[in-house]
Structure 1
Amino acid sequence: MGRNYIFEDIEFYDYINDCVPYFIGFFLLENLLSIILKKKDLYLFKDSFSSLSTGLSTIIWEKIVPSTFLASIEFVIVLYIWRYHRLIDIAEDNKIASIICFLSVDFGYYWFHRLAHEVNYMWATHVTHHSSEKYNLTTALRQSVFQIYTSWVFYLPLGLFIPPQMYMFHKQFNTIYQYWIHTKYIGKLGPLEWIINTPSHHRVHHARNPRYIDRNYAGTLIIWDRMFGTFIEEEEEVFYGLVHPLGSHDPTWCQIHHWYEMYQQAKQYPAWGDKIRVYLNGPGWHPGTARLGDVNEIPMPTKEDIPERLGQPLPALLNSYVFVHFMLISIASLAVLAIYEHSLGYYKTGAVMVYLYLSLTCFGAIFDRKRFAMLAELIRLVMFIGCTWEIQSSVVQYMRLFYFISAGWMIANNISSSTFKTIKKD
């Protein structure tokens, strides 16, 4: 169940936490439907893993970040403005104010989202969400841990006249709404296409087709795109992912890679003005182009380039190994968080979250075929066995036994089987 959070004496309810089981249930249902309909190109486990691992990373970050202020900056700043600088007092059940709040949150999201595509340093905090080569409900969960540190500015004016509980309700609704539009199974919705953001509109937004780049920024209402000239209809086949593919499933690299790429680009230019423009202009900018770059330089996607972008698959047995361990440690960690967080305290909860992140990193290294991947995974298994040795819980004992078997299986196969030799870079 969701939880009530209290900042000073202001309490709000965590509706997003309530929705997590439904998020999981619907993407499992979509995956099952793709199997039944034999749409094998809709889901790919390593791509879904990257989406889920970045989503888990946001939860991990919230639990280990040393300050509530940093973890909840989108709420805390609005609360501060409302408490000390509000212009009027409005009742929390005021219907007109609620409608205004809904529109204001969505309007703020539109402009944050637009600038997150048009300003390179902001794109670095949003690019994670667009790095999936597939488009399904797991893509909605592929989130950046740093995005809130650029988006919070766009909601500041609401603190002048909107009660914080009302703001938080609509802010969460705006986020929850956007989950269902990350699907290919829902076509166009007739007259609703003129008003709300739909799966069709959002498929365009996630496209790497040149004509679709930087379009359809809407959160809930598509009217903002229509008003400000950024709307385009879904007409040609959509190809997903970044213009230049990420090519990695490491959760850390997925979060920070564009910062490194900006740094490398800025190093190429001797003029300080050009170095600064790398961060302030669009992601496609370079000297000699307009602020947002030249869309004609973006390669036209084809079906033939998809296999290369997806990379070489893992052997089936190893893929199954990663799937089982990923599900086991993720579910176990979230269960610990939901049931035992308050009794464990900050440090033990933080240790569980750090171990979960270490696990995600090891799985990502396996998918990336890193030379150190199998050694890192063996160390991860041994760490769990050692750190839980004195815990007598039957659930932990069964997990420990499974980790023992996994470690033995890994050692045996690493010595005598070609299964793990395929992990080495070709």
Structure 2
Amino acid sequence: MATDIEHIAPTTHAVEASAVMKLLPARPRLLALGEPTHGEDTLLEVRNELFRQLVEQEGYRTIAIESDCLAGLVVDAYVTGGGGTLDEAMEYGFSHGFGASAANRELVRWARQYNTGRPASDHLRFAGFDGGPLEITGAASPRQPLTELHDYLAPQVDPDMLPCTREALDHLLGADDRWREPAAMMDPSRSFGRSPEAAQLRLIADDLASLLDERTPHLIAAAGREAWDRARLHGRTATGLLRYHSWMADTSPGRMTRLLGVRDRMMAENLLALAARGPVLAFAHNSHLQREMSSMRMGGERLEWWSAGSIVSTHLGREYAFLATALGTIRHHGVGAPPPETVEGLLYALPEDRRLVDTRRLAAALGDALPSPRTSPYFGYFGLDPAHLAGTDGLVFVKDLRPS
């Protein structure tokens, strides 16, 4: 194996946009950069530098991260010259606690500075592409996307075309706390997702989203493409959240698999919409961006679902590219040097701290006898699956993570 790595070492490169593009047949419409763990600023600093180079050298203008898509509108407004402060953008523009990251703060600060004095057509844009905080702590209320969609349509269409009034919508939604019930994730009986009100709201959301599409020519002519795109985002989010809440109330064996699948489908829809307006760098966990089926173990059961990356890749083909990230140590979480028989262990033997690896040449050098998968004592870190090497377009390897 040492001979194999000696053969591969000269084919690794600095983590630079120019080196990434040399691995690909053409500039992708959506370049996905994965991470194997959340909350590590070292990985976000690598992302920030790569995005700067993609902006300056390759014409990329949008970065999308695994954060609430509606909250992301706050950051996008700030970086494109809107009011408010950087502190407010970080507090209200991120989910999952990502607004506390110094590297995310630097990204937002730099993007606003870059846009200053430039025409709107050349602005950098920021987006979240997650459907919301859809994890163990519960799911968001559909109030914001439903009411925003209704309010967008109401002044531009005949009232008889709307499925309900704003007052009726508010009545059906009720208190947000019943949607955000944390216990519902583990106890379906605590979910409001299959109540008579929720069922009626799903029909209303579907009608509103359909009306939006039916009236596309008039709506874009009246209020512009930007407002229509935002309304479509609200429509996707409203229907997705209501579907997610419905499955939270389900008691069948397929409940968790469907919840995971609905979330990644929402991510995929948002990424496809972003890619339609120009080249995008997307950043999220490897498991959301990989081409292969994703999996996890929960309560002794193995759950499998198609990731957002696998869905987007199927739609975009060669216009989708995926760079996975692997790492050596996270000593502050008890993850020491990787075993030498793993991919991470082989790459850890190289002297450089950060390298871009040609995964196809690496896979060829390793041959049929793939290295062992790496196991981790830290639940928040997922080692690289060697079987996925052939499905990646490149591998970013970071040797050691320092505490954020």
TM-score when scaled to structure 1? 0.22
- Give the strand-richer structure, 1 or 2: 2
